[in-house]
Amino acid sequence: MSIELRGHHLLCMLTYKGLGYSDAFCRNYDAIIARLNQGEAIALIRGPDQICQPLVRDEDGDCAHCHHRRIHRRDALAMQAVSEALGIEVTVGQTLRLTPSSLTTLRQAFTQGQLRSGCFDCEWHSLCTDIAARGYADTRLHHSNE
């Protein structure tokens, strides 16, 4: 099994610490992070993913935010930046497995601003910047080997 994620959520998961759009959103995200922490693979998809599901349900099945052109642009920019950071091609349709090393690499690149192109115009930008500056304290994503 794998967790379906859109591109920019590869960045969001790095700084997730239990905050989100609603309680349902956070409960869902916590469950996804728990699966990632157990080493489950990530299947990269286009459009709304498993993290988006509470938002999609809240909007009667069609969340305009999740389908907006700028969000799709974030996905593409994030996958490009993650590709560069990890030295592998990261595209829709691929499966990616986080390792302690890849998680460390991504967080270092995020802290240094190398992954932030996918964060443009995001309402959570300053929160994530603060979390990275504080060394990812209290974030929920850890690798099962850590």
Residue 7: name the closest of 63, 105, 79, 115 by CA: 79
User: Rounded to two decimals, what is the model's pTM?
Assistant: 0.91
Residue 13 has pLDDT above 90, yes or no: yes
One-letter amino acid for residue 7 of the chain: G
Helix ranges (H only) for 5-68 are 9-15, 23-37, 53-58, 64-67
Map out the domains of the chain as residue ranges: 2-133
* pLDDT above 60 (res 67): yes
What per-residue confidence (pLDDT) applies to 144?
Answer: 56
Whole-angstrom distance, CA of residue 4 vs CA of residue 113: 25
